[in-house]
């Protein structure tokens, strides 16, 4: 297969709109090179005032792009609900290539929420916010993310990466946490961070680890560090 370098949907200064019940599909497969123009949904702005804001995106499946969704503009107060991001190089990327201080690029995407969505088989990062604040990942599931098409033993990239301040993860499920923290199959493998950079995170899930008397020390639980 040959990867398409085209965009699925490009929105320029779109406000107060609803996009729902869509399937956006291209031909990216795991291991393909990343094309900066291969984007499922690109969201742009003419200026900070004339921007893409107050939109609702719901029940959308994006498959086979280098970027599931991307914006480097001052988009605001958009809600992304019930998505499936599947077989992508990157899930959502905010702020890559931004010229801070430029027209429509004073801070990057702000006050956007991604919720109740599935990120599945993403080669690199599930969400990367290079620039933009007060964005939230909430009640999302991340499986097979950051492993370059392999298992958690091949973990290479963080799942969420927040370079900017005041972004958060709330009640997200990470397959990597279960498998690399206390799963017996991968307990000896390196624990690449789940969340990298500046973030607030709040887990809604508990772990249960059984311990007992053994003749020699064994690892039963691990936590990651990004340095």
Say what the pLDDT of residue 2 is: 54
- Answer whether 184's CB lies under 8 Å from 152's CB: no
Q: What's the CA gap between 165 and 160, in Å, rounded?
A: 13
Q: What is the pLDDT of residues 190-217, one digit of tens each?
A: 888 999 998 778 777 777 787 888 899 8
- Answer whether 195's CB lies under 8 Å from 159's CB: yes
Residue position matching structure tokens 């609900």: 81
pLDDT at position 93 over 70 = yes
Q: What is the pLDDT of residues 36-86, one digit of tens each?
A: 999 999 999 989 899 999 999 999 999 999 999 999 999 999 999 999 999
Question: Measured between alpha carbons, how far is residue 23 from residues 18, 65, 90, 118, 140 in Å?
Answer: 15, 12, 17, 14, 19
Average pLDDT over residues 121-139: 97
Element (H, E) at 95: none
Say what the pLDDT of residue 1 is: 52
Say what the pLDDT of residue 222 is: 83
The per-residue DSSP string of 146-198 comes to SSTTS-GGG--S-SEEE-SSS-EEES-EEHHHHHHHT-TTTTTS----SEEES
Q: What is the pLDDT of residues 138-157, one digit of tens each?
A: 999 999 999 999 998 889 99
pLDDT at position 227 over 80 = no
């Amino acid at each position: 297969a040959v990867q398409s370098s085209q965009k699925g949907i490009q929105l320029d200064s779109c406000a107060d709109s609803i996009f729902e019940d869509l399937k956006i599909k291209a031909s990216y497969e795991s291991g393909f090179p990343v094309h900066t123009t291969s984007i499922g949904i690109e969201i742009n702005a003419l200026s900070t005032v004339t921007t893409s804001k107050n939109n609702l995106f719901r029940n959308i499946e994006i498959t086979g792009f280098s970027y599931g969704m991307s914006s480097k503009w001052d988009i605001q107060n958009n809600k992304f609900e019930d998505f499936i991001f599947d077989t992508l190089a990157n899930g959502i990327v905010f702020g890559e290539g931004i010229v801070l201080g430029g027209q429509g690029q004073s801070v990057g995407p702000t006050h956007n929420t991604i919720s109740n969505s599935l990120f599945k088989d993403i080669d690199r990062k599930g969400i990367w916010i290079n620039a933009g604040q007060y964005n939230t990942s909430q009640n999302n599931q991340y499986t097979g993310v950051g492993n370059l098409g392999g298992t958690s033993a091949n973990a290479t990239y963080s799942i969420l990466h927040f370079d900017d301040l005041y972004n958060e993860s709330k009640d997200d499920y990470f397959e990597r946490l279960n498998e690399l923290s206390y799963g017996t199959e991968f307990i000896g493998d390196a624990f690449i961070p789940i969340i990298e950079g500046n973030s607030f995170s709040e887990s809604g899930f508990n772990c249960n680890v059984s311990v007992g008397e053994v003749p020699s020390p064994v690892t039963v639980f691990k936590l990651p560090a990004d340095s």
